Every structure is written in structure tokens, then in C-alpha cells.
Amino acid sequence: MKRPTIFLCVIPVLAGTLSGQTVLQRCIGEAPGQEPAHPLSPSPATMSYCRQLPGWGLYDQAGQRFQAGDHAGAAHLLEQAAQAGNPIAQFRLEMMLTQGDGVPKNYASAMQWLKAAAAQREPAAEDVLGTAYEYSSTRGLAAYGIADDWDMAGKLWQDSASQGWVNGEFSLGRAYQYGIGMPVDPSKAVYWYEKAAAQGHAQAAYFARYIRQNGGFDGSTRDDQERALLGSLMGRTMPFTPPIGTTFHHLSERVAFIKGEYKQQEDGKARANWMMQKRRYDDCKQNGGDNCVAPFGPKPQ
């Protein structure tokens, strides 16, 4: 998973209201009901609100330590800020624990802080936690020690996207494209991809164009595992219609679908090949041939 590398690009969401908005919404410059004009992030203009978040002084000191090259000192201060309830610090600490940056790798603690940040509606954490629930045992995420749960992944991405977090919008587009905890719906996939694309997400723009140019049909594969199941000759494209309206709740369900569709394709090819051989054999016999070759094997079902 691609992670941000600087402190202030991580977005918190915290309970509590201030004139109809949370302190966090004001901190990141979010305008409720409006699509962000630029990626959400704390800025000098909103820093007075950011300073109201718990442990912000500790978080700010951690950022200074990190920039000065003292990653161990930064991690120590981040832990204090995280324990104080700062969701930005909780998410950043998860990243450092996962990467072993300034602290020994500790995936159990990383997951604890990731869940804590997501529970406070920190949209970047919600997006990453959703991806963890999507892949769980693949892409190096098995160390987190959680089972795949695509319904939870879809919910987390929906929560993240609803706040205007660009990666959450992209992930929700994928959810609708491939049925990851959401019903397969190309039009909704395009909707969320285009929202992410408007914030500069190039991959989202690509998929939105891909689905539109194919008249709503999406025959792409979700990842390398699916491509491997389909075989090298098929590349990235699946030669069958996506299951519109179907929701996959776990990876195993989508894998079973891919395998089933692939088997139908292969069975169809085998039947067509057998019938072609049969026609050649019948034509040969009708024309009095003495070296007619019968179709190989029994007729495929």
C-alpha cells in the first residue's frame, strides 16, 4: 500500500461540533456537502483549529523530530500523542510500526492504532484499514493478523469517500467495479472514480475512461491473482460479463466466481472444438472418405 511520507498530509476526523462542523473538518478545510477543490489537508489558515485536537503539541514536536532525522524520538512523541487520542498521530504511528521506522516492527500494535484512528473517522486510516480487510492474507498484509471482510472494507471506504478523501473515493470506485462489499455497479464505479480524478488521481481517471469507453462493460481483472487464474493469454481482460448487482463478501467468493466463469469459457471452447471435429468427420464420411478422423474423446457436456 502506498503511504504518505509527511505528517500534515494525513487527515483526522474527530467527534464534536463547532458551528455545525467538527474541529477536524475545520482543521482540514472540509466544506460539508461540497466536493473538495483540492486534497484535504491542514493548512496555515486552519491551524488554529488543528491546535484544538488532543495532543497536537506532541504531534507537532514529533514532526519536527522526524524532519530532523530523529525517527526514534518522533515515534516516542507520536505514541504519547496517540495515547492522548490524536487520530493523526495514531495513524502515523501505525505507519512507523508497520515499516519499522524509528521503532521495531510490530504489526499487532500497528493494527491497534490503525483501528483506533479509523474509529475516530480519520479518512486516510479508514481507507487503509479497508484495504487491509480486502487483502488480509495477501500483499504482505497477513502480518496484521485479521481475516478478510469485504463488507467491512466497503463500509470503511464509503465512510472515507463521504468525507472527500481522494484515496477513499478511488477505493469505493473499486468496490463498485469489482463487487468488494458493494454490489457490482459500473455507473457508481465511474461516479466515484471521477470524483477522485477531479482531485488529480490518475488511476481513477483511467478506470473511469475505461468503463465509459466500453459502454459500461468492465471486463478487467482486480489484481495479479485474478490474472494468474485466467491465464497469461487473457492478460488483464476477463472474457465474460461482470456479475452486475452481485456483492462479494470475501475474497474466496470472488475467486470462486472467476474460476467458475473461466471453466464455463473453457468448456465452451472444448464443445466448439469437438463439434468442429465432428462436422469434419461427418463431411468426410458422407463424401466416401476412407481416412476420416473421428472427434477425439467423448462429446463435452
pLDDT value, residue 1: 42
pLDDT value, residue 140: 66
Q: Tell me how crowded residue 299 is: count the other CB atoms within 10 A of its CB.
A: 10
How many CA atoms are closer than 13 Å to the CA of 212, on its beta-carbon side?
A: 10
pLDDT value, residue 264: 67
pLDDT value, residue 296: 77
**Dist CA 204 CA 225 (whole Å):** 21
**Dist CA 166 CA 158 (whole Å):** 12
Q: Tell me how crowded residue 24 is: count the other CB atoms within 10 A of its CB.
A: 29
pLDDT value, residue 173: 98
**Dist CA 37 CA 114 (whole Å):** 27
Alpha helix ranges (H) inside 163-201: 166-178, 186-198
What cell numbers appear for 15 in the block? 467527534
Residue range 1-118, CATH number? 1.25.40
**Dist CA 247 CA 281 (whole Å):** 46
Q: Tell me how crowded residue 234 is: count the other CB atoms within 10 A of its CB.
A: 16
- Quick one: DSSP state of residue 298? S
Domain borders along the chain are: 1-118
Instruction: Report in angstroms the alpha-carbon separations of 39 from 11, 108, 118, 194, 199.
Output: 10, 30, 19, 14, 6
What's the average pLDDT block by block, 10 residues per block, for the chain (301 residues)? Answer: 39 43 78 74 86 93 96 97 93 96 95 95 93 84 87 97 94 97 97 95 96 89 85 69 92 90 68 77 80 80 72
Q: Tell me how crowded residue 88 is: count the other CB atoms within 10 A of its CB.
A: 34
Entry pTM: 0.82
